[in-house]
Structure 1
Amino acid sequence: MTTVTPYAPAALRDFLIGQPEFTNQVPVESVSTSDIPDKITGPFVTLAAVSNFGQDPMLRKPLVQLDVWVPKWEILGGDIAPDELAWNIADLSGRLVHKARIQRFRDTQSSWRATWDEGPITDVDTERGPDLPLFRAICRFEMKFTVR
């Protein structure tokens, strides 16, 4: 029997970085379950559990939020506006995760499946100052984690 509920954001991270369609847009090293770095020069993705519910310790339903962060056009370059690129990556993530069949979590007896619950939702983060906006798109996934 598994002694802890697996870390749901890591399960989604492991799944997404294994999808070439996703890593063509976001490098593997730019997908994290922790904070965003001080300097972002391209798309960056964070994953966090924003809720975790369920009445049974063997069947948990974490709600995982995926945030896509994209710097302003002058840093990013390219032909796609940063807000549109953030949207596209969030939307792609939603489609990939939603279509995935039941996934086993690493080498444990735990498995998961997720549904695309919300998003993309867009935002512009100006906490770093008005000259360094980060364009953001958010998706949320309701996961069903079976823990054995």
Structure 2
Amino acid sequence: MTINPYPYISGHVRKFLLDHPDVKRELRGGRIGTGPVPDPLKGVYVRVAVSGQVGSTPRVRRLLVQVTPWFPADPAVSGTKEDPSTVVWNLATTLGQVAATARNEVIDEHTAWHAEWIEGPVELFDRERGPDRGLLYTPIVLEVTVSHR
């Protein structure tokens, strides 16, 4: 029996979300990635990353995937008139609802996945980049079940 690596699920969740028109609308020209939050951040950025996993069998894994919208806290930085808290909240709840529609998403002949929205959004604030460069972020957590045979 040949053992193959599991597909990079963060990339598949990212693509699924990007393909949905409601997500595109809420992104406001921003982007979804699997890497670090850009610096400087002047618009929407959504980070998709596996944050944990459960499961005792190699054929079915339940991965915890954190999907985190980030947005500048200062409207002068983003150039928007909308409340930044509302921007990240609306995006997080849209992402959660869209992700929860993923059912039997085929990756290849051996692998498929589906998702459930299990936690969040949680409203958080980051000042690590400096007091005048604060970021708002609202992570949600998905439980992504990957069936691999």
Q: How many matched pairs?
A: 147
Instruction: Tell me the residue number matched to 1:43.
Output: 44
CA separation of 1:92 and 1:50: change in aligned 2, threshold 3 A: same
Instruction: Tell me the residue number matched to 2:102.
Output: 100
Quote the sequence identity (%). Answer: 30
1:73 aligns with 2:75: yes
Indicate conservation of the 8 Å contact 2:11/2:34, yes or no. Answer: yes
Computed over aligned residues only, the root mean square deviation of the Cα atoms, in angstroms, reads: 1.7
Q: How far, CA to CA, are the matches of 2:6 and 2:60 in structure 1?
A: 9
> What one-letter code is carried by the residue in structure 2 that aligns with 1:140?
V
Where in structure 1 are there 5+ consecutive unaligned residues?
none
TM-score (norm 1): 0.92
CA separation of 1:56 and 1:92: change in aligned 2, threshold 3 A: same
TM-score (norm 2): 0.91
Q: How far, CA to CA, are the matches of 1:29 and 1:73 in structure 2?
A: 15
Instruction: Tell me the residue number matched to 1:58.
Output: 59
1:112 aligns with 2:116: no
Q: How far, CA to CA, are the matches of 1:58 and 1:28 in structure 2?
A: 38
Cα deviation digits, residues 45-102 of structure 1 (max 9, x gap)? 0011110121111101100001100012111233321111101000000000112222
Instruction: Tell me the residue number matched to 2:15.
Output: 14
CA separation of 1:104 and 1:27: change in aligned 2, threshold 3 A: farther
Where in structure 2 are there 5+ consecutive unaligned residues?
none
Runs of 4+ more than 3 Å apart:
none
> What one-letter code is carried by the residue in structure 2 that aligns with 1:84?
T
Indicate conservation of the 8 Å contact 1:119/1:140, yes or no. Answer: yes
Q: How far, CA to CA, are the matches of 2:3 and 2:10 in structure 1?
A: 18
Q: How far, CA to CA, are the matches of 1:16 and 1:83 in structure 2?
A: 21
